Amino acid sequence: MSSGERLPRHLREVVFVDGVRTPFGKAGPKGIYAETRADDLVVRCIRELLRRNPALPADRVDEVAIAATTQIGDQGLTIGRTAALLAGLPKSVPGYAIDRMCAGAMTAVTTTASGIAFGAYDVAIAGGVEHMGHHPMGEGVDPNPRFVSEKIVDGSALVMGSTAENLHDRFPHLTKERADAFALASQQKYAAAVAAGRIGPELVPVATRSAEAGWGLATVDEPPRPGTTLEGLSALKTPFRPHGHVTAGNAAGLNDGATGCLLAAEEVAEELGLDVGMRLVGFGFAGVEPEVMGVGPIPSTEKALARTGLSITDIGLFELNEAFAVQVLAFLDHFGIADDDERVNPWGGAIAVGHPLASSGVRLMTQLSRQFAERPDVRYGLTAMCIGIGMGGTVIWENPNWSGAHTEGAQK
């Protein structure tokens, strides 16, 4: 090639090979991870990904991207690199930390996937961790006073529960009764998925320690409330506003947990004999008014759909992060989807299982990948979530098991 010629660049297909997570715990001194380090939760996920995929040589991992919203203490110090070292990956494998609040792990995936598509990486590990018991959201943060003094945002924009109340104000037809009914369904669908063995195989057992109780083993999620009833939900306090709508029952709790996934170029996955759970189609992030951050997934989904040439009717499965019930309801109403549509969070969501902030995006993806394996009739699915300070994120995936993939004249 002469010095005057440009190097050819060819984008590659990116696939989601496998995903795992720790059981999610309740934050606080009584939670299962109260005396467990955040970085050790990530280490368990990385080691488990390698154990479950023995065809992958550890030195073929080109990058480790781990998200954390509060990057201090045991989830600081460039946790992608430190967790990679602690997990026993070769010292030649680099890593970094990333933060987009609730969409941290989602952004770890889209960022490393972009590098794979461009040819900078062949294989990457992406995930996230949040130990909200050790590091409550906003710990150590010093918001610039100009945000409020110059009215860049309303003071409520920095309190996620208050932004959910603002969403109820903006859309009064999204009543507390609808939010409570959606929350109850989340608990019920999660319980049914566990009973059927659908949730569980992706969980990584974690050894826990308590100075008082000794050693234990976390094998199941701690947050779900199987005894939830509509009557009980209706009686809960509204901590963000007197006579409000948002309660501990129709919102995700404060949780601890970690996730991790394996991404690869499709041709590399084939070369190594790795399974393909999903194929990346496209993604979108969007900003909205911080005071109503819950609407964020609406424009991010519209952006992702427009850029991939798909429409909402092409999507056969939705994994929507249930930070607050009202936020999911706003998304469903916008796209004309019923509250009880069977395509939406068929195994329940964060209201039941928990939402350890930066880790949740990969939980959504792991569940969608497992659902794809059961649903060859579905070609496209999406994972979407609202993001603090007024953003939304959406990633669209294709099912490699789609039964029409090789049919002549099949629809998109």
pLDDT tens digit sequence for 333-386: 999 999 999 999 999 999 999 999 999 999 999 999 999 999 999 999 999 999
Q: For 277, how many CA atoms within 13 A lie in the half-sphere containing its CB?
A: 18
Asked if residues 48 and 20 have their Cβ atoms less than 8 Å apart, the reply is yes
pTM of the model: 0.95
Predicted pLDDT of residue 157: 87
Q: Is residue 406 part of a domain?
A: no
Question: CA-to-CA distance for 153 and 146, rounded, in angstroms?
Answer: 9
Could you tell me the pLDDT band of residue 411, with boundaries at 50, 70 and 90? very low
Identify the sign of the CA torsion 45, 51, 53, 55. positive
CATH number of the domain bearing residue 252: 3.40.47.10
Q: Nearest to residue 15, comparing CAs of 265, 268, 379?
A: 265
Residue 285 domain-assigned (yes or no): yes
Average pLDDT, the chain: 95
pLDDT confidence of residue 340: 97
What pLDDT was estimated at residue 407?
A: 40
In a domain, 366, yes or no: yes
261 catalytic, yes or no? Answer: no
d(CA 204, CA 301): 31
- Residue 404 in domain: no
Domains of the chain: total: 1
Q: Is the residue at 141 inside a domain?
A: no
Rounded Cα distance, 328 and 174, in Å? 10
Residue type, 254: L
Q: What is the mean pLDDT of the segment spanning 231-248?
A: 96
Q: What is the rounded distance in angstroms from the CA atom of residue 329 to the CA atom of residue 326?
A: 5
Residue-wise pLDDT tens digits, 104-113: 999 999 999 9
Lowest mean pLDDT among 31-40, 95-104, 207-216, 245-254: 207-216
Task: Assess if residue 146 is contained within a domain.
Answer: no
Specify whether 102 is catalytic.
yes
Gap between the Cα atoms of 405 and 162, Å rounded? 45
Q: Which of 45, 173, 386, 406 is catalytic?
A: 386
* CA–CA dist 75, 41 (Å, integer): 10
Which of the following is catalytic: 102, 168, 245, 261?
Answer: 102
* DSSP codes joined into one string, 337-365: --TT-TTB-TT--HHHH---GGGHHHHHH
pLDDT for residue 95: 98
303-329 pLDDT, tens digit per residue, is 999 999 999 999 999 999 999 999 999
Note whether residue 138 is domain-resident: no
Is 386 a residue of the active site?
yes
Exactly one of 131, 134, 168, 355 is catalytic; name it: 355
User: Does the pLDDT of residue 1 top 80, yes or no?
Assistant: no
Neighbour-count burial of 368, counting CB atoms closer than 10 A to its CB (0-12 exposed, 13-18 middle, 19+ buried): buried
Domain of residue 194 covers 14-132+153-397
- Rounded to the nearest angstrom, the gap between the alpha carbon of residue 263 and the centroid of all alpha carbons in its chain is 15
3-state SS, residue 9: coil
6 inside domain: no
**Mean pLDDT, range 112-128, rounded to an integer:** 98
